[in-house]
Chain A
């Protein structure tokens, strides 16, 4: 979505030259580690771009996974505004978001730059009212 492919291809292009010239295994690992570094930096910036950021499968209009849909419905019920990223459009993002938060599954919600949880935790925090407070504090919902 808002994740551009330009950077990725640039890096890929540069390193594919190395893959031809150098020992295959070493160059490939270098290629992947550079993509990883790039994505970790990109994600670190992305999660701070907006007070509430969601990584999901599909889009808010068309979620492609029940768990992502659950989180969308919760954020809607809270009346929160958020920014979403579709990991199905970018395999590197999909893998790197997992290592970024050390959390194995998607969706992932970040509030004020901090990883908050996935569908199970969001549902729990929604029920306890903890999520309302957190979203209000982040300034993404109108105070009642």
Chain B
């Protein structure tokens, strides 16, 4: 069978295709079809010749096989220093081999490659900062995911996720109507307690355009309400777009670059339409990476920057605390030991470690750094889409041990994790390993600690 009905080289672009995939519970048929999916070696090699230039080719060629990348990789550490988890081995035995064979690889090899670049690498890019030659295996794993996607070898959930973005411009089936109604519902409900609170939709020329992760309207609408309360108390002139509100990109995890472009373009179109002064992204790491760090390149913007200046939520909070827009009641600061999960995407790959430290210095009395921390922190274990892929759940759970041990070493029972993937991974590690910790985004913490001006106080007070 050259291509399957569900597992094939075509991206999902219609609701019908998407529903067929969703109906295949756990991807049973999908993976069965994958076993029979033919490799289009010519197309694979053509793509490599077109897209694999001197940066990646040089990395693969001059890797001196020194092994310094080994201990930088949390998978290597979590798997009892299994040599097959050394980043250099993982990429040389997959992408390196595909190139050496000029794309002439078979189905089994591409499945091995898929299992490697999805279940043994979260594209956290930590190895890049430990390699003497600056070789970024995470970048190469991500590139390889793109090659695999073009050949139809992508995990079931990633195929669905990329399809969601192409159809809904969101990682989940949240329509414009769903989103707008959720905002209106949250505004209505929250304003009962917070007089004057609004969630302005499509307001032109606002100071802040606020954009989110689709999980928030879908599963955690209170997050939107919390954001609204904090903007309200800070006195911000803000808005949300009715379209182009989704920041995340499962397409990025999947390696569906056209899907990535379409997704970020919807956000940039909202910027053009509403002309905000700045954009603020919710507490999500990969969303920021996709739309702010990588997105401008997918959209072909030669500045490498988003059309309007963009802040991650931690930057906005740090700024609001610094300028006094948000004031912390000193009596309500966190008294217990607390630690912070540095997200790979906005700390290592986004440079926001200082903003996070500033926030912690203002809200916590006993802040404890993980070791290592900042840009050197380990991935939570759930990055790169791993949290959502059933086929690799066991490998993901093993990987969580490194984060578990880091948290335990701090002695803190509370983990601040302003990133959806980190938040999920830490929740799951508690569920699996039972170490007695709690985890939280910033928003609920801040709401309980800020000083609210008299005229804005909730009605029940």
A binds B: no
Which residues on A are within 8 Å of B, measured CB to CB? none
